[in-house]
Homo-oligomer: A and B are copies of this chain.
Amino acid sequence: MLYNHYCDIIRKHYERFGFVPLRTPLVERVETLTSKGGEAKEIYGLRRLMASEELVDESKLALRFDHTVPLARFVVQNSGTLTFPFRRYSMGPVFRGERPQDGRYRQFDQIDIDIIGRETLPLLCDAEVVAVIASVFQELSFGDFVIRINNRKIFQGMFEDAGIDKEQLNSAMRAVDKIEKIGKEKVIDELVEIGMTSEKAQNITKIMGSSGTTDELLDMLRNMDMGELFAAGVKDLTEVVQNVRALGVDEGDFHVDLSIARGLDYYTGTVYETRLVAHPEIGSICSGGRYEELTEVFGGKKFPGVGISIGLSRLFGKLLKTGIIKGEKHTTAQVLVLQLDKQFMMDYLGIAAELRKSGVNTEVYPEQKKFDKQMKFANKKGFETVVIMGEDEVAAGTVIIKDMASRKQKTVARQDILRCISA
């Protein structure tokens, strides 16, 4: 229930920004999945259990491992009918060939949004992604959060300025992405190994570690002269921050963070990570960025995009574990109508029908059992209210309404039940 409740909140805010739900199949062609970003070992292929009945060649089919690759395939296949920029969200299971363990699942839910342009995509979209995520986590109420924003062009500019070859750019990016995991010194070692001077490498990690307000960091960057690409990154980042503010995002909910690089090769501009302030140990709860070339492997036109993903299964597990959220109730119903005497069944069912009609989720205890047994059931499943109606009450035209939290009960006229219980 709680899980669905969170999904509903996320959906609501995605739709508040005009994102449409897109439901692509869980099964894609192997060649689609392996064409970009998918390492074959992580993918589950399909096979038919009865080999004699080969209706279709399942060896060509496999389970999706994220929502991004199926989106790229969908956009290219339907580009003629879609209206661009195309903004969609996708929620549902993805599969990875992992040994199930703490925080790693074979099947887990991702909830993604992406905005895809044809040929170009306005930079405003990069700010909207921040606004929608801030809006989601505001309502989810997991505590204070910060969406950390950076731009990869700043890194690329610094790498170019340090004389790194085009072919080595991805390696350099992967090196700086590890700074939190392996530390500053080891990152410097890796950058030097790729071909940078120790001085340049040190300067890059120094910039990555800069602290200050978002405006102080942007000012600092604007005063640095590290070439065109660097300057373009700073300009983009500045504009994104301006638009994020114009979209009404609270100043405390986002921050420029020059250490954010993101591991995936396909990001080309803005990148995001989101953390819970009180729980840094959970890591990023929502990450993403802008990509320019994701669909190129499918041929033809360019469809740049920007997107972000909430790994809800993993997040939900961590939130339960840290106690930020509490476990589930065992009923979706608020009210339990007891069945004290089968001869009054019509009354019990009538009360339930009346409550349901006015929007109150209601169960009827399904058989005549001892009062204690029925109350134990009510406690165990966590009903808020119990309706009790025995021989005396039927004769008097009343019902007893018991509040399970306060353990208080009151006797009211049968026809007043809706006035005493509301959804």
Report A's interface with B, CB cutoff 8 A.
1, 3-4, 11, 14-21, 23, 25-27, 30, 34, 40-41, 43-50, 52-53, 55-56, 58, 62-63, 83, 85, 87, 93, 95, 97-99, 106-107, 115, 121-122, 124-125, 128, 131, 135, 243, 246-248, 328-333, 345-346, 349-350, 352-354, 356-357, 359-364, 366-367, 377, 380-381
A230 to chain B, nearest CB (A): 24
Which of B63, B85, B366 is in CB contact (< 8 Å) with A124?
Answer: B366
Which B residues are CB-close (under 8 A) to A248? 349-350, 353-354, 357
Which of B16, B46, B328, B362 is in CB contact (< 8 Å) with A362?
Answer: B16
A341 to chain B, nearest CB (A): 14
Which B residues are CB-close (under 8 A) to A1? 20-21
A330 to chain B, nearest CB (A): 6
A18 to B1 CA separation, bound complex (whole angstroms): 11
Asked if B56 contacts A99 (CB within 8 A), the reply is yes
A158 to B125 CA separation, bound complex (whole angstroms): 68
A251 to chain B, nearest CB (A): 14
* CB-CB nearest 5 A-B residue pairs: A18-B333, A248-B353, A18-B363, A15-B332, A246-B349
Which B residues are CB-close (under 8 A) to A98? 55
Asked if B350 contacts A246 (CB within 8 A), the reply is yes
A55 and B99 in contact, given A25-B107, A45-B48 (Cβ under 8 angstroms): yes
